[in-house]
Structure 1
Amino acid sequence: MIPNWIIQRSTLTPERIALRFEGKSWTYNEINDLALQQARKLTALGVKPHDRVAIYATSTPQIIFMICGCMHLQCEMVLLNLRLSNTELAYQIEDSEVVSIFSEDELVENLPKTAVSIHTFSEIEQTTLAEFTPAIEWSEEDTMTIMYTSGTTGYPKGVRQTIGNHVSNATSSLYNTGLVEDDAWLCTVPLFHISGFSMLCKCLLHGIRLDLYRKFDVDKVVNQLVEGSVTRMSVVAVTLERILSELENRNQQVSKRFLTMLAGGGPVPVDYLKRAIERGIQVSQTYGMTETSSQTATLSSEDALRKIGSAGKPLFFNQIKIADAKKPFEQGEILIKGAHVTPGYVGRFVEKPSQANGWLHSGDIGYLDDEGYLFVVDRRSDLIISGGENIYPAEIENVLTSHPSVREAGVCGVEDDQWGQVPNAFVVLKNEVDAEELLVFCKEHLASYKVPKKVYFVKELPRNGSSKLLRRKLQELI
């Protein structure tokens, strides 16, 4: 058992600022009070402890109050990605078997038709309080969050993250970074992503401040970095480049109070690392996944240039090895062990084991060098990483081949200056159709960032002897 995070934090540091957003701030005591109000209102609406619910909202204080209210109720929270299409949302809602959906008012019209009860934030706000007493202790084995990540089949998997998973990740991160006076995270990544949610968990557990942004605003972010009002931030390569360009345009350095910029979502270009050093930014490259509740390995800033391209070493309590590797530099599947690893999935993949002999098989190919530094060679084989978002080709191919004029489809990532990679599609037709019609079709079934930027019509797709599609050879057709 583990103490209720919110109650214990509000007891330890009640008057410490927990959250800042657009000029307003809340203490940990105020967060707890608002969370208890939410829990009592949800109870009045019929939500019971341990219910599985979905949350669909932008990154504002309201989603944090809702998340903390659900924590008090010990609900399993399915955090719905705002960028998903109607079809994708419908799949996740059905697959996860949630009993209620809590939605920001302005977003309700984006939700699919469903038999599940939908409660808007304003409806919840107006609900009268019911009796509710929060548990003082939580079980570490209980599921706290469920986040969907695509699989190689193209069907998204609902990944369970337990209370113990989140505690382990936050603890390992703390051992890596330490704590300083007036520590504060700047959060521009969505709270429905594991990177955003893990940031919230770190703040609650470590008792530090979260400066929350509704969306990335380069001017305001750079202002904070230069004035030194925050100490840490998480980015992907595309947002790091925008920060660097703005600093260069201003000819400014970040404050010496700013300590760490964690860079995930794929390798960071060497040029970005060099430019960051010139602007006083200590970049720490990371490797992790939804199944590991965020970080599992991190490259220290002092090694950023000495070990260019590396994701660093596993954080404390975490273990990484390369399957079947007998010596350094031998490539193989990256295997991960630790208390931060998911115990399993929900829905369609509920019977799929998440570990084999205690090790998570990541599906990523990599190697450890002679000093034990991890290098990721291929992110889940054919995975496309676009602006920090993971895109699986099979998911796009499934949509394209469902079009009546398409016989076969293959998708691969193509380098892009702004996003790192973007998906391109290669299609073998059954009947005549133009590319624009296929793109419109994709937009109806996929999140915007998954829609191919270009469609090429080809006579045949590259395949091996067993007729398996060779996605790595698709670019040769351009």
Structure 2
Amino acid sequence: MEIGALIRRAGVNFGDAPCITEDDRTLSFREFDQATDRVGNALSAIGLRPGDRVGVLLPNTIDCLVAYYALAKAGLVRVQLNAREAVTDHEHKLSEGGARAIIQSGFPDLTADFQINLEQLRDMISTGDPSPCQIERPLDAPLRFAFTGGTTGKAKAVNLTTRCELMEISALLTDLIPDLRQGDTFLHAAPISHASGAFFLPCICRGAHSLVMQKFNTSDFLDLAERSGASMTFLVPTMLAMIMEDPKVDSCKDQFRRIVYGASSISSGLVERLEQRFGRVLAQTYGQAENPMAITQLAPEHHDRVGSCGRPYTMVDVAIFDENDQPLPPNERGEIVCRGVQLMAGYWNRPEKTAEAIRDGWLRTGDIGYMDEDGFYYIVDRKNDMFISGGFNIYPSEVEDVLLRFPGVVEAAVVGLPDERWGERVVAVVAGRPDLEVEAILLHAQTHLSGYKRPRALEIWPELPKSGANKIMRRRVKETLMER
């Protein structure tokens, strides 16, 4: 099945029901199908051919989603870009993906054979050939290029096929949001160029209404949640922490039945506060660019498993391997690995890196973790972020979890800096309320952490550096501290 067929079927099944809304603009399911046909045909008419790569650099808008799925209908490969990133990041990704065209708003200096701005895109939506656009390609041909997080170096293009995409949709509808249905409203507040966009096609399949926020802020989010009666949303932990600091949070009359979170680790203290406020509606999903969204999921009823990222999705195989690629028994730490239909086809034009990441069909996630006796998985930290201080392994996320429990701390990053005595010393940086005090936070850490895990120094910054996917970039924190 092609992605375009899902959209065409939704246009027939759900017709004039609202498909997607942004501010005061709404497209029905039928209108969304027609808009993607027009743009797909217009892109073919200017000379783009099936298999060509096209960068899309647009904010959270209806236009962005029309562009995404017009490309799919026209057999073009989406090169996924995030408007929050720097121009140098966009240039690298366009080059890495070999993009022939770019559809953009606000970045006229980016070069490609075909430059399509927002005005031209909207003209295509209005005047393009309305006949069905249906270019069929093999299920294992590239559908879109996602990118690795870039937290440890230059981002690599991840080749995701139509087969991968269909598996991801099935996984989300089977395990994570099985009760998504017609009449629901899914509030997209996180970037649709990243994880939030993964929920649009499930909404298409089930006839649910997608409500898109152009830019997230907590006050507008809470107002929109109450006004729309949204039943589901996806947010990253930093956004959830910010919402819990908003004065409106206690008075908001929301109707959330499911709040999905992921993309980075969450503190157990924040989970407790969220459940006290919203009830048992939290669902966690763990994935990465190479295995999008669907490695494990933690259902609302399992959130008493503190620190767990859940059990594997139904059609995903997960294990813990040692350094010799041998499976480990429960409660022993090793690298989390996974396999299944949902895996990437590989890193685009990087066969050596692909061979390092996927061995014998198993993807090495780079995450250190373990599985308990009941089959629940726990992420300890990124393999590359662990450091040694005084002979002890330090996992930054364990220390960060404690710091995030301090009232008013919204973001935290822990890194190891060179030290003559300890090899590396534990240093922390936090951000949050303006009245935070270093001494009080260090005392909190001293009370709740073993001696070797306690920060030797702590700084308070206005905010921490984050990737376009809202992941805190420990590497940049460390670089800033090292430059002093």
Distance 1:454 1:91, change over 3 A: closer
Quote the residue 1:435 is aligned against. none
Equivalent residue, structure 2, for 1:197: 197
In structure 2, the residue matched to 1:326 is: 328
Question: CA-to-partner distance for each residue in 1:248-291, whole Å, 9 max, x for gaps?
Answer: 65533654x42111121222222211211221242222211111
TM-aligned CA distance change 1:136 to 1:88, over 3 Å: closer
Which residue of 367, 373, 377 corresponds with 2:376? 373
Residue 163 of structure 1 corresponds to 162
Secondary structure, counterpart of 1:204 in structure 2: helix
Give 1:228 shift. Answer: 6.4
Residue 18 of structure 1 contacts residue 28 of structure 1 at CA under 8 Å; is this kept in 2?
A: yes
- The answer to whether the Cα contact below 8 Å between 2:358 and 2:364 also exists between their aligned partners in 1 is yes
| Alignment-derived partner of residue 271 in structure 2 | 273
Q: Please report the TM-score for the alignment, with normalisation by the length of structure 2.
A: 0.75
Aligned-partner Cα distance in 2 for 1:297–1:184: 24
Structure 2 partner of 1:362: 365
1:416 aligns with 2:430: yes
State the distance in 1 between where 2:153 and 2:351 align: 12
Assess, with a 3 A threshold, how the Cα gap between structure 1 residues 10 and 130 changes in structure 2: closer, same or farther.
closer
* 1:77 equivalent in structure 2: 78
Letter in 1 for 2:364: H
Task: Find the aligned partners of 2:64 and 2:36 in 1 and give their Cα distance.
Answer: 10
Q: TM-score, normalised by structure 1?
A: 0.76
Alignment of 1:117-266 (within 5 A): 117-126=114-123, 129=128, 133-135=132-134, 139-150=138-149, 154-176=153-175, 177-179=177-179, 180-193=181-194, 195-226=195-226, 229-246=229-246, 249=248, 251-252=250-251, 255=254, 257-266=255-264
Aligned counterparts of 1:33 and 1:41: Cα–Cα separation in 2 = 12
1:38-75, Cα deviation, whole Å (9 max, x unpaired):
11221222122232111111111111111121111021
Q: 1:285 — aligned with what?
A: 284
- Once residues 152 and 417 of structure 1 are traced to their aligned partners in structure 2, the CA distance between those partners, rounded to angstroms, is 19
- Determine the structure 2 residue equivalent to 1:396: none
Q: How many residues align?
A: 408
* C-alpha separation in 1, matches of 2:225 and 2:329: 42
2:188·2:211 contact (CA, 8 Å) conserved in 1? yes
Displacement of 1:360: 0.9
Q: C-alpha distance in 2, partners of 1:71/1:350?
A: 28
Q: 1:84 to 1:250 in 2, by over 3 A?
A: closer
| Separation in 1, partners of 2:202, 2:74 | 20
Change (3 A) 1:37 1:369: same
CA distance in structure 1 between the partners assigned to 2:131 and 2:29 by the alignment: 20
Contact 1:267/1:285, CA 8 A, preserved across alignment: no
Q: Over residues 209-239 of structure 1, what are the superposed CA-to-partner deviations in whole Å (9 max), with x where a residue is unaligned?
A: 1110111131232134445621111111211
Letter in 1 for 2:142: T
Aligned equivalents of 1:14, 1:82: Cα separation in 2: 32
Q: CA 1:338 to 1:120, structure 2 compared with 1: closer, same or farther past 3 Å?
A: same
Deviation string 1:71-107 (CA, Å, 9 cap, x unpaired) is 1102110011223323222221112111111112x33
Counterpart secondary structure, 2:332: coil
SS at structure 1 position matched to 2:140 = coil
1:328 CA displacement? 0.9
**What is residue 421 of structure 2 aligned with on the other side?**
none
Question: Structure 2: which 5+ residue stretches go unaligned?
Answer: 387-395, 401-408, 416-423, 434-464
Q: CA deviation at 1:6?
A: 1.5
* Aligned partners of 2:19 and 2:29 also within 8 Å: yes
CA RMSD, Structure 1 to Structure 2 (Å): 3.4
Kept in 1, the 8 Å contact 2:287–2:296? The answer is yes
* Secondary structure in 1 matching 2:103: strand
Mark the CA change 1:345 to 1:453 in structure 2 (over 3 Å): closer, same or farther.
closer
Corresponding residue for residue 299 of structure 1? 298
Find the counterpart in structure 2 of residue 64 from structure 1.
65
Contact 1:237 1:388 in 2 (8 A): no
SS at match of 2:71: helix
Output one character per residue of 1:122-154: Cα deviation in whole Å (capped at 9) or x when no partner.
134446645965227653223221011146862
| Superposed counterparts of 1:380-395, under 5 Å | 380-382=383-385
Q: Paired residue for 2:337?
A: 335
CA distance in 1, matches of 2:90, 2:472: 15
Identity %: 21
**1:162, distance to aligned residue in structure 2 (A):** 1.4
The list of structure 1 runs, each at least 4 consecutive aligned residues, that deviate by more than 6 angstroms after superposition, is 383-389, 410-413
Give 1:455's aligned amino acid: T
Whole-angstrom CA distance in 2 between matches of 1:40 and 1:298:
38
Residue pair 1:142, 1:162 contacting (<8 A) in 2 also: yes
Aligned equivalents of 1:333, 1:351: Cα separation in 2: 17
Which stretches in structure 1 are left out of the alignment for 5+ residues?
394-409, 420-441, 459-477
How far apart in 1 are the matches of 2:427 and 2:11?
A: 46
Specify the alignment match of 1:467 in structure 2. Answer: none
